[in-house]
Amino acid sequence: MKKILTLLAFTLTIQFGFSQIKFEKRIEFEINDGFVSEKFHEMGEVGVLVSSRSSNSLQGNYSWRFKMYDNELVEVWSENLDIDNSFIFDETASAENSLHNFYRNRKGEFIIVSLEPLDREVTEVVGAFPKKTLVQSMQVLGEYAFFKAEIKGSPYLFAVNWRTGKQKIVPIQIDNFKSKKIVIKDYQVLEDEKEVFVFIQVFYKKNLELHIIQLNEESEKTNQYHFTDDIDKNIMSISVSKTDNRKYIFTGTYNSLSKNKISAGDIFSSLLTGRRSSKSARMMSSSEGLFFCEAENNQISFVQYYNWLELDNFWSYLSDRKQERIEKKNERKKTKGKQLTYNYLIADHDVQFVDDGYIFLGEAYYPTYRMEYYTSYQNGVPVTQTRTVFDGYQYTHAVVAKFGFNGELIWDETFEMFPAEKPFRVKQFISTPDNLEDALYMVFSSRDRIITKAINFDGIVIENKASERILTDNQKDNIKYTTSNLDYWYGNYFLAFGFQKIKNKEEAKRKDRKRKVYYMTKISY
């Protein structure tokens, strides 16, 4: 009996006590301190950088405040910088031990403010884009900030040295194709490898072809190849990772749209839904499955495709009745010699490496809409009409899959999500540690709760959707409203941050009984 009880206790520890949320430290900020638009940036073990803008301009300038906190959330330094109020904050990107804010105005002029917390240095460079240049999506590699750009309908990468202000325009060209037939679907920085991958879509004979250009940190081309030359699928999203043995792993999503159904509109639709950065969410065009590919010396070693219906647990977030309905529909298709397909939008994460394979994580979502009423006048008579308005993206679940070294699917699992927030830009809700040791630990926040799930490398769920409420340090506080974000920080620590309305009737001073605050909470998991 004693042995049985010991074994039972050990089993319960593995299942429920192996990974738990612990709130380590919390700090609060005043809302009405003259600054707004707080943004929180994790800087690894160095700490957290908080940026904000003055609520009012003074003499034509906004004051931007940067505060650095160490990994115990103790303020260690701050810096204020005046920026002309004609410049609007547009993008932010982080690199090793540095953070970069991008501002621009309507004239095409820009400012890049770079902060290096370890050295407590702030660098500001100014410049201007060529006329009629459209830019979006900043990523940083080394001393260069890269932008996806379009000049008079032709695609480019625009590179700016954030130390010196030196500018480079990198044309994106594919032999035998006019530049206006080419679009930059995406690009990705591999910081450790000092490489930039540019994923290019070409509309050719009613088909979408994918080409890849590799650049070094000086924006010099090192490789170029036709990725879909021997692939009979349309690649809807793609990301790249590099193994220790110098091979490249490409993963993402695909669909099998027939050649006669693809139009130029599909290309631009995918552009509108492209991801913003390597660490940020990657919004994809509709996909019917995921692919896993290995390449070496510009040659594809293998590529494997997996329809969503081939995954054992992809539909487990649905009710049993809905799952049964899908299964019956699939069987009817099979009897006719056809394959059922479901198109999903997937925000995929970078592949993570384990000893015996690779871990893929992607978040499924769909766009939502609402009806909006408005009044117009026809011949002086008011007429009430309706229009459909985009209402954000609803996330449903995440798919986790493990692949072997030959791309074979070993197991898959899902993580039910349905966060309260419906963002208007695609993001990654789920955060995971950078280095996996014994399991995949997944964390995301939804309003006042932190939700976790952990799966070991054998596909066994060791913690199934646990939930913890984001509380204050005062048990007598009554939290009336919470917004939250959660990001991986360093080690086994995560950072939760957001806004809260709090009521406490026990406070001695009337002015302290209600408060509105920004908060940061250090969490271990």
For tokens 């009521």, what's the residue? 503
> What would the pLDDT profile of 294-314 be if each residue is shown by its tens digit?
988 878 888 999 988 888 998
Amino acid, single-letter form, for residue 275: R
One domain, residues 448 and 424: no
Sheet holding 61-69, edge to edge: 35-42, 48-54, 61-69, 75-84
One domain, residues 271 and 351: yes
Is 409 part of any domain? yes
Quick check: 68 pLDDT over 60? yes
Mean pLDDT of 500-524: 89
Most confidently modeled range among 107-116, 167-176, 333-342: 107-116
Is 95 part of any domain? no
Q: What is the pLDDT of residue 257?
A: 54
Is 154 part of any domain? no
Q: What is the pLDDT of residue 184?
A: 92
One domain, residues 403 and 512: no
Is 24 part of any domain? yes
Sheet holding 478-490, edge to edge: 22-30, 514-524, 493-503, 478-490
Q: At 436, give phi and psi (nearest 5°).
A: -90, 125
Q: First vs last Cα of the chain: how many Å apart?
A: 33
Which residues 6+ apart lie within 8 Å of 168 measured at CB?
Answer: 144, 158, 159, 160, 219
One domain, residues 237 and 378: yes
Q: At 282, give phi and psi (nearest 5°).
A: -110, 105
DSSP-based three-state secondary structure for 148: strand
One domain, residues 243 and 366: yes
Mean pLDDT of 480-489: 95
Q: What is the pLDDT of residue 474?
A: 92
How far is C-alpha 246 from the chain's CA centre?
26
Quick check: 281 pLDDT over 80? no
Residue 368: how many CB atoms within 10 A of its CB? 11
CA–CA dist 49, 35 (Å, integer): 15
Task: Domain count for the chain, please give it.
Answer: 2
Mean pLDDT of 11-28: 67
One domain, residues 448 and 396: no
Quick check: 427 pLDDT over 50? yes
One domain, residues 412 and 446: no
Instruction: Tell me which residue range forms the domain holding 323.
Output: 231-430
Residue 22's pLDDT band (cuts 50, 70, 90): very high
**Average pLDDT over all residues of the chain:** 86
How far is C-alpha 74 from the chain's CA centre?
28
Is 108 part of any domain? no
Quick check: 91 pLDDT over 80? yes
One domain, residues 340 and 448: no
Mean pLDDT of 235-245: 86
Most confidently modeled range among 202-211, 380-389, 408-417: 408-417
Q: What is the pLDDT of residue 341?
A: 72
Quick check: 11 pLDDT over 70? no
Q: Which of 13-17, 149-153, 352-356, 376-380 has the lowest mean pLDDT?
A: 13-17
Residue 461's pLDDT band (cuts 50, 70, 90): very high
Is 272 part of any domain? yes
Is 142 part of any domain? no
Nearest to 486 by CA among 520, 516, 453, 454: 520
One domain, residues 420 and 500: no
What is the Cβ-side half-sphere exposure of residue 217, based on CA atoms within 13 angstroms?
A: 13
One domain, residues 447 and 416: no
Quick check: 168 pLDDT over 90? yes
The residue ranking higher by pLDDT, 395 or 180, is: 395
Is 175 part of any domain? no
One domain, residues 399 and 446: no
3-state secondary structure 204-243: ECCEEEEEEEEEECCCCEEEEEECCCCCCCEEEEEEEEEC
Mean pLDDT of 329-351: 82
CA–CA dist 363, 358 (Å, integer): 17
Torsion over CA: 13, 19, 25, 26 (sign)? negative
Q: Which of 272-286, 365-379, 400-414, 458-472 has the lowest mean pLDDT?
A: 272-286
Q: What is the pLDDT of residue 501?
A: 95
Burial 83-116 (b: 16+ CB within 10 A, else e): bebebebebbbbbeebbbbbbbeeeeebbbbbbe
Q: What is the pLDDT of residue 125?
A: 96
CA–CA dist 46, 450 (Å, integer): 24
Residue 397's pLDDT band (cuts 50, 70, 90): very high
CA–CA dist 439, 272 (Å, integer): 35
One domain, residues 336 and 412: yes
